[in-house]
Amino acid sequence: MYEKVRTVSLKGSVDPQVKNLQVVSFDSDWKEVYIGASKKDSFTAVCPNNIPQCAEVSVRYVCKNKENARISCSKWCPMENCTILVLGSQFGIQILDWDGGNLVYEYDFEEQGLPPDELQILGVHARGVAAVGTSLLAVGLHTGDILVLSIELQGESYLCNIVEKLRGHLSYITDLASSSTTNGRVLASGDSAGTICIWKEEGGSLHLQDKLADWVGFPINTLSIWNRYKEGLIIAGYGSGHIRMFNIETGNIVCELTAHSGWITGMDLASGSGLLLTCSEDSYVRVWQLALKGPLVEHRYSQPIHDSLLTGAKFLDPNGSVFCVSVYDSTEVPIYQM
């Protein structure tokens, strides 16, 4: 179904971080597309296609009076009039222009009363980023809180404000996902205990709709939302290698897959075709077909990438005809195509 067609090289190697692969596109044909990943305090990205004057993306997470920053999450988020790059670390959150050229906003944990705690094994960190609509940005924190910010571009200036802090988890946040469904905008949040919270936007604020705590025991590593299935479907990848799918409106589980034999470390959903891409510590990348009629999920493709610890997987077009994966401690990003 897919064949490896080429490999692109990042400027730096890749950290062993779940979902450590990000993709952004600036045209409808997905020609000007960038692939990025983080290593220690640096985030670098390249364009895999032959595009004249493509940008150079190389960003360092720099904090005043602090050293040895380590990026804990990264994501490009398209907003109403701009695309931003969000980086989280043990020191806070930085919001930058998409190419990292300008620092737009910084949320410093220590200044906000979240200093390092020696009793916490994992320490302070941000993890999980999602754009809710075109003006709200949600970032998960080690406290179990979700920080919600409003982002606006007026002329050449950004306006960034903290809107609220959501509290629904007792364990640290591991991932966030958002989408617009038939019942409005929805945010899903997962934590290290395996709990999922479903939030709905009403009047510019997010309100807790449901809490799914029947499948705890393994951390939720990845989240996606498929908005074409009835009221919407939350797709969660677990540390156990399972994928579970929940109806957003009822919270009921509708499907469970024993997808991998190790931690699921990457997930992406092709909105145009319903193809679901997953990768795992078991060194396999797999593609699944989601359907509106008949069986909800069918397995379509598996490929082992031998002697590799996979850290992320992303489609390179909305139909899922091309995808790429990132590999720990490697600068090479293999690309597969139908």
The 10s digit of each residue's pLDDT in 129-160 is 999 999 999 999 999 999 999 998 888 889 99
CB 147 within 8 A of CB 190: no
Of the chain, the percentage scoring pLDDT greater than 90 comes to 84
- Which of 78, 73, 32, 39 is closest to 58 using CA atoms? 39
The overall average pLDDT reported for the chain is: 94
- Which of 192, 198, 194, 118 is closest to 166 using CA atoms? 198
The residues spanned by each domain of the chain are 9-267
Long-range (24+ apart) CB contacts under 8 A made by 207-215 are 208/166, 208/168, 210/251, 211/168, 212/246, 212/251, 214/253, 215/244, 215/253
pLDDT of 294 over the 90 cut: no
Question: What is the H or E stretch that residue 308 is in?
Answer: none
Question: What is the H or E stretch that residue 108 is in?
Answer: strand 103-108
Q: Rounded to two decimals, what is the model's pTM?
A: 0.95
Long-range (24+ apart) CB contacts under 8 A made by 118-123 are 122/172, 123/90
Q: How would residue 25 be classed by pLDDT, with cut points 50, 70 and 90?
A: very high
pLDDT tens-digit series, residues 219-268: 999 999 999 988 899 999 999 999 999 999 999 999 999 999 999 999 99
Of the chain, the percentage scoring pLDDT greater than 70 comes to 98
- The rounded distance, in Å, linking the Cα atoms of 87 and 330 is 21
CB 10 within 8 A of CB 333: yes
pLDDT of 96 over the 90 cut: yes
Cβ neighbours of residue 156 closer than 8 Å, sequence gap 6 or more = none
Q: How would residue 119 be classed by pLDDT, with cut points 50, 70 and 90?
A: very low
- The rounded distance, in Å, linking the Cα atoms of 296 and 165 is 35
Question: Mean pLDDT across the stretch 40-53?
Answer: 94
Phi, psi (rounded to 5 degrees) for 52: -60, 140
Q: Quick one: tokens of 19?
A: 């979902």
* Burial 227-265, CB ≥16 within 10 A → b, else e: bebeebbbbbbbbbbbbbbbbbbebeeeeebebbebbbb
Predicted pLDDT at 87: 98
157-167: strand order across its sheet: 126-132, 136-141, 145-154, 157-167
Long-range (24+ apart) CB contacts under 8 A made by 145-152 are 145/169, 145/173, 146/173, 146/176, 146/187, 146/189, 146/199, 146/206, 147/93, 147/107, 148/206, 149/95, 149/105, 149/107, 151/79, 151/82, 151/84, 151/95, 152/79, 152/80, 152/81
- Which of 47, 59, 45 is closest to 88 using CA atoms? 59
10 Å CB burial of residue 338 (0-12, 13-18, 19+) is: middle
Give the number of other CB atoms < 10 A from CB of residue 337: 14
Select the more confidently predicted residue: 32 or 294.
Answer: 32
Predicted pLDDT at 28: 87
- Which of 93, 64, 28 is closest to 272 using CA atoms? 28
Q: Which CATH number applies to 9-267?
A: 2.130.10.10
Question: Mean pLDDT across the stretch 18-47?
Answer: 96
Q: Find how far residue 137's CA is from the centre of its chain.
A: 13
pLDDT of 104 over the 70 cut: yes
Q: What is the CA radius of gyration of the chain?
A: 19
Select the more confidently predicted residue: 294 or 139.
Answer: 139
Phi, psi (rounded to 5 degrees) for 127: -155, 130
CB 246 within 8 A of CB 229: no
